[in-house]
Structure 1
Amino acid sequence: MSHAHGPDFSLELAADRAPVCGVDEAGRGPWAGPVVAAAVILDPDAIPEGINDSKKLTEARRDALACDIRASALVGVGAASADEIDQLNIRQATFLAMRRAVAALPQPPAHALVDGRDAPDIGCACEAVIKGDGRSLSIAAASIIAKTVRDRMMVELDTTLPGYGFARHKGYGTRAHREALAQLGVTPHHRRSYAPIRAILQDADSPS
């Protein structure tokens, strides 16, 4: 079934329990910073206009929608640090962030729609929805919250650790980020289990 028109509320209505929360994450791929998850329970009578997959929205539109979602819906946010990602692996750290996001909701959900292939154990009935941020309004809302929170964290990290360009690339493996690492070295906010960071650390350790 194609959803060319964008996400809708049909998966939420089809769930046999309420309330239903959408869960999504931001930041699985970057070399630095936390992975951030959000859980959102939308009010079916007050869904903000224009909610879509966060990747399809401009930064300004995402920020405006994040305010609208927080004003009308129940929102929980959770994160797992670079350390936790290194200890657990990114998949398990993402599940941990999702559990924290669901636990942070003001009201416990009865059913969760989670973006992706996995239905993690997050404390309630859970349904995995592939490409969920393009199908479910609740997941799309969670994707917007997760992305805006994580971007803001990386902008703040840029002020405490200038020179890496975190405000620009948000920790992703860009050329500028690679060059900064070569000049400035690895920080405690870098994911040491990720191959590019591991390679830099091994080079630093090997006798020249």
Structure 2
Amino acid sequence: MTKSHLLCGVDEAGRGPWAGPVTAAAVVLDPARPIAGLNDSKKLSEKKRLLLDEQIRECALAWGIGWAEPEEIDRLNIRQATHLAWKRAVEAMGLTPDHIQIDGNDLPQGLPCTAEAIIKGDGKIAEISAASILAKTARDKLMVELDTRYPEYGFAKHKGYGVKAHAEALSLHGACPIHRTSFKPVALAVSRAA
């Protein structure tokens, strides 16, 4: 395989939640080991995502996970924190791809090779679909773990997204250390609790 075949797909999960990190994944698939059923993680059942996650980790030439923590999201803003997570995911692969395709309409500075943004890429490009799946399963797993540390918020169920139960928990308990205090609903809960 020549270097020119090293196409890397990048996607993230968790831009919108009120709590937890934004999580990115970068994947270089192996053309000799194709994976059936890849798609945008949001269009797959949890069971299917977990099966594909295992296959991707086993069959890909390289993959990496990158995180940007709530504190970084609050300090930088969600867009810049997402860029940071994307770059960390690419670095975590341990190899430099020839070209990167990122889901969306935005590119970070400082990537190690040429790159392009592809709108709805997670449903069109296998590498981005694979990254979408790894990012989602890694973040979901972390939020389930964080639920044991902060059980009053229900993170295992809603993964930090802004659902009614989460809003109610916020108004009852205020914010915890993994909340994004720069997000308006969290900021309001913090100001009410002060």
TM-score scaled to structure 1, two decimals?
Answer: 0.89
Q: CA RMSD in A?
A: 1.1
4+ long deviations beyond 2 Å: none
Residues 2-151 of structure 1 aligned to structure 2 (within 5 Å): 17-73=4-60, 74-121=62-109, 122-151=111-140
Aligned to 1:170: 159
User: Which secondary structure does the structure 2 equivalent of 1:146 belong to?
Assistant: helix
User: Which secondary structure does the structure 2 equivalent of 1:163 belong to?
Assistant: helix
State the shift of 1:184 in Å: 1.4
Alpha-carbon contact 2:83-2:107 (below 8 Å) kept: no
Larger radius of gyration: 1
The Cα offsets for residues 145-179 of structure 1, whole Å up to 9 and x where unpaired, read as 00000000000000111111000000000000011
Alpha-carbon contact 2:39-2:129 (below 8 Å) kept: yes
State the shift of 1:124 in Å: 1.7
The Cα offsets for residues 5-51 of structure 1, whole Å up to 9 and x where unpaired, read as xxxxxxxxxxx933110000000000000000000000012121111
State the shift of 1:111 in Å: 0.7
- Structure 2 distance, partners of 1:189, 1:119, is 26
User: Which secondary structure does the structure 2 equivalent of 1:189 belong to?
Assistant: coil
- Structure 2 distance, partners of 1:158, 1:136, is 33
Gap runs ≥5 in structure 2:
none
User: Which secondary structure does the structure 1 equivalent of 2:178 belong to?
Assistant: coil
Gap runs ≥5 in structure 1:
1-15
Alpha-carbon contact 1:120-1:126 (below 8 Å) kept: no
Aligned residues: 190
- Structure 1 distance, partners of 2:163, 2:5, is 42
TM-score scaled to structure 2, two decimals?
Answer: 0.95
- Percent identity, aligned pairs only? 56
The Cα offsets for residues 61-106 of structure 1, whole Å up to 9 and x where unpaired, read as 0000000000000110000000000000000000000000000013
Instruction: Kindly provide the amino acid, as one letter, of the partner of residue 194 in structure 1.
Output: F
Alpha-carbon contact 1:114-1:128 (below 8 Å) kept: yes
Aligned to 2:146: 157
State the shift of 1:204 in Å: 2.2
User: Which secondary structure does the structure 1 equivalent of 2:10 belong to?
Assistant: strand
Alpha-carbon contact 2:23-2:66 (below 8 Å) kept: yes
**Of residues 166, 169, 183 in structure 1, which corresponds to 2:172?**
183
Instruction: Kindly provide the amino acid, as one letter, of the partner of residue 112 in structure 1.
Output: I
